Chain A
Amino acid sequence: MRKMSGRWLRLAGIGLATAAVLALTVGFGGEREVQYDAQPESVAHSKEMYYFSSVDSMVATSHLVVYGTVSAVGEGRFTGADEDGSTTSQIRLRNVTIAISDVLHNPKLKPIPPSITLEEEGWDSQGRGYIVNGVAWSEVGDTGYFFLQHSFGTNTYSLTSSDGRVLSKDGALVPSNIERELAGQITTTQPDMFVLDVYKASQDYASGLLGSSDTVGSQPDSTEGAGA
């Protein structure tokens, strides 16, 4: 009798342990609720639509350039679900609210509200936070220049490229993608000259002296051979 009780106790213990593990891994409802990282844990590397050789061309290609301060951040919409509705491929964008101090470039003269929403990446379908091409997540209090393109069909914006955020910190300019050559140009520019450069580029664009950049996608196909 004592032997049987011990066996049943062991079986019950194993059962409880299994149930606990299952509950912890898949949740009581059978579906795991996605937890979104508070901080990014990896860096994504992307081939982008634009590659700028100058701040002027980035201004001319942007729909809006503002100077402002990040006042709030939060989880945003999902994008990239598969056509059959499966969500393993999707990502979740991050909403960044920018309180605008100054509008430097607005070629279509659209009414710009006191604050706008910038969408940045983000989290993958498992809630793992990541940054793209070295651009750190925007944080509340970040102040600087934002080079933006309007997101079609929404009232939101995205950075024109990974170079598209230039923060002002301790009297210096901090580029968003330090890997690119444009970062060197930005860091060697005095902040008071930078704003004048942006204004001038905007005026040159308005007067037709400066055109927007073509996308990388519009570059011709390559005809090179393999392995040279």
Chain B
Amino acid sequence: MRRTIIAVATAILTIAVAASPAAASHGNKANAGPPDNAQQDVQTNKLTTGGTAAYSHGRAQLDRTAITMSTGGSDLHVYDASYEASWYGQTTCTDRNWINWKCDHMDIKFNTRRMSGASTSKWQSLGCHEFGHSGGLGHRWHSTDTNDNSCMQEDIWPRYLDTHDIDAVNQLF
């Protein structure tokens, strides 16, 4: 009996460790995730008006995928502040699930210094972009998004995940 239990436990552990973290790469390599499960709690931290617009829109976009968003502090933390850095937004995996090495906790940061004076539309695009990273998506360019309608593009400001992005996230779960 004991041997059976040990064998089963070893098998489960081996499968869990060997399971490679799938990446919703769709032609790109960068991804902050993928997240370790399809239920993502998100917590905001005293956001500005722009940051709130980014958060609300980004969360709604990720909700269009197989990921279900809810309010709470266990998965995603969203900040905005003035960073001396040359980016508008940033997503980082801060803690990984030790079993499958997928991302357990992520930080999303919006840079109010670089987004100063930006329209609500751009804030929403940024929110979609960063929440897209939290769903495991990487950057896209015109070569991988010829109709320029994915917010995962680096150099323009679409406001929505396109169907290709949504499919890529859904493949993870």
Q: Is A91 an interface residue (CB 8 A)?
A: yes
Q: How many residues of A contact B (CB 8 A)?
A: 51
- The answer, among B85, B91, B125, B161, for a CB contact under 8 Å with A121, is B85
Give the chain B neighbours of A84 by CB distance below 8 A: 46
Are B86 and A227 in contact, CB atoms less than 8 angstroms apart? no
Within 8 A of B (CB), among A33-65: 42-51
Q: Is A79 an interface residue (CB 8 A)?
A: yes
Are B115 and A217 in contact, CB atoms less than 8 angstroms apart? yes
Are B90 and A132 in contact, CB atoms less than 8 angstroms apart? yes
Cα A89 to Cα B83 in complex, Å, equals 10
In chain B, what residue has the closest Cβ to A177? B30
Chain A at the B interface: mostly helix, strand, loop or mixed?
loop
Are B88 and A80 in contact, CB atoms less than 8 angstroms apart? no
Cα A216 to Cα B115 in complex, Å, equals 11
Are A48 and B87 in contact, CB atoms less than 8 angstroms apart? yes
- The answer, among B109, B141, B149, for a CB contact under 8 Å with A80, is B109
Q: Is B26 an interface residue (CB 8 A)?
A: no
Give the chain B neighbours of A161 by CB distance below 8 A: 86
Cα A180 to Cα B90 in complex, Å, equals 17
Are A45 and B32 in contact, CB atoms less than 8 angstroms apart? yes
- The answer, among B28, B88, B107, for a CB contact under 8 Å with A47, is B88
Cα A119 to Cα B83 in complex, Å, equals 12
A151 to chain B, nearest CB (A): 6
Within 8 A of B (CB), among A170-228: 179-181, 216-217, 219-222, 224-228
Are A179 and B29 in contact, CB atoms less than 8 angstroms apart? yes
Give the chain A neighbours of B166 by CB distance below 8 A: 227
30 sample A-B contacts, Cβ–Cβ < 8 Å, listed by A number: A42-B94, A43-B32, A43-B93, A45-B31, A46-B90, A46-B91, A48-B86, A48-B87, A50-B86, A79-B83, A80-B81, A80-B82, A80-B83, A83-B46, A88-B77, A89-B109, A119-B84, A149-B86, A158-B84, A158-B85, A180-B141, A216-B88, A216-B155, A219-B155, A221-B125, A222-B121, A222-B159, A226-B160, A227-B160, A228-B160
Residues of B within 8 A of A (CB): 28-32, 45-46, 64, 77, 79-94, 107, 109, 114-115, 118-119, 121-122, 125-126, 129-130, 133, 138-139, 141, 143, 147-149, 154-163, 166
Given A46-B90, A158-B86, A225-B149, 11 extra CB contacts under 8 A: A45-B92, A45-B133, A47-B129, A82-B81, A84-B46, A89-B79, A160-B86, A180-B141, A217-B118, A226-B159, A228-B163
